Amino acid sequence: MKQYKPINLVAVLLVSFVAWVYCVAPAVLGLIYQAYPGQDSVSVLIATLPTVVTMIVAFLSTVIFRFVPRKWMAITSMVIALICGAVILIFPLPLMGVIVCSALLGIPAGIIPAACATTVTIIAPPALKDKVVGWHNALMMLGMAVFTLLAGLFGDTGNFRDGYKSIFFLIPIIILAILFYPNVDRDLSGMAQAAMEQTAAANTANTGKEKIPWYCIAFVLTYLIGCIFWNAWFLNYSDYVINEAQIGGAAVSGMIGSLSSLGGTLAGFFVAWWIKGTKAFSMPLAFVLCGVTMLLPGMTHSTLGCYVGGFLCQMFNLFIVSGLSTYAALATDGKKYATTILALISVAEGAGVFLCGYLVPPLGNLLGGGAGANLTAASVVMILLGVACFFVMKPAHKAVYEQAE
| CATH of residue 257 | 1.20.1250.20
Do 155 and 294 lie in one domain? The reply is no
Does residue 396 register a pLDDT over 80? yes
Q: Which domain holds residue 37?
A: 6-184
Measuring CA to CA, which residue among 280, 273, 267 is closest to residue 322?
267
Measuring CA to CA, which residue among 346, 53, 371, 377 is closest to residue 234?
371
Tell me, what's the pLDDT at 77?
A: 97
Distance CA 345, CA 350 (A): 9
Do 138 and 27 lie in one domain? The reply is yes
Measuring CA to CA, which residue among 41, 19, 1, 248 is closest to residue 117?
19
In a domain, 228, yes or no: yes
Is the pLDDT higher at 109 or at 405? 109
Tell me, what's the pLDDT at 223?
A: 94
In a domain, 115, yes or no: yes
Is the pLDDT higher at 39 or at 191? 39
Amino acid residing at 200: A
- The DSSP output letter for 48 is H
| Burial of residue 246 (number of CB atoms within 10 Å: 0-12, 13-18, 19+) | exposed
Distance CA 29, CA 24 (A): 9
Does residue 195 register a pLDDT over 60? no
Across the range 244-252, mean pLDDT stands at: 80
Measuring CA to CA, which residue among 12, 6, 18, 325 is closest to residue 142?
18
Across the range 363-372, mean pLDDT stands at: 93
Does residue 255 register a pLDDT over 90? no
Tell me, what's the pLDDT at 198?
A: 52
In a domain, 231, yes or no: yes
Tell me, what's the pLDDT at 1?
A: 58
Measuring CA to CA, which residue among 244, 221, 284 is closest to residue 374?
244
Does residue 208 register a pLDDT over 80? no
Comparing 30-44, 147-161, 276-290, the range with the smallest average pLDDT is 30-44
In a domain, 177, yes or no: yes
Distance CA 306, CA 371 (A): 13
Tell me, what's the pLDDT at 324?
A: 93
Q: Can you give the C-alpha Rg of the chain in angstroms?
A: 21
Does residue 20 register a pLDDT over 50? yes
- The DSSP output letter for 241 is I
Tell me, what's the pLDDT at 14?
A: 97
Distance CA 16, CA 12 (A): 6
In a domain, 16, yes or no: yes
Residue 150 CA neighbour count, 13 Å, CB half: 18
Do 235 and 142 lie in one domain? The reply is no
Does residue 147 register a pLDDT over 50? yes
- The 3-state DSSP class for residue 64 equals helix
Measuring CA to CA, which residue among 115, 145, 146 is closest to residue 133?
115
Where among 136, 167, 184 does a domain terminate? Answer: 184
Q: In the chain, how many domains are there?
A: 2
Do 242 and 310 lie in one domain? The reply is yes
Do 236 and 170 lie in one domain? The reply is no
Do 226 and 180 lie in one domain? The reply is no
Tell me, what's the pLDDT at 404?
A: 52
Do 364 and 229 lie in one domain? The reply is yes
Do 281 and 134 lie in one domain? The reply is no
Does residue 194 register a pLDDT over 70? no
In a domain, 209, yes or no: no
Predicted TM-score of the model (pTM): 0.79
Do 126 and 233 lie in one domain? The reply is no
Do 32 and 171 lie in one domain? The reply is yes
Do 302 and 389 lie in one domain? The reply is yes
Do 138 and 71 lie in one domain? The reply is yes
Does residue 160 register a pLDDT over 60? yes
In a domain, 204, yes or no: no
Tell me, what's the pLDDT at 402?
A: 65
Tell me, what's the pLDDT at 403?
A: 58
Distance CA 201, CA 209 (A): 8
> End-to-end CA distance of the chain, in Å?
17
Comparing 186-190, 216-220, 250-254, 341-345, the range with the smallest average pLDDT is 186-190
In a domain, 92, yes or no: yes
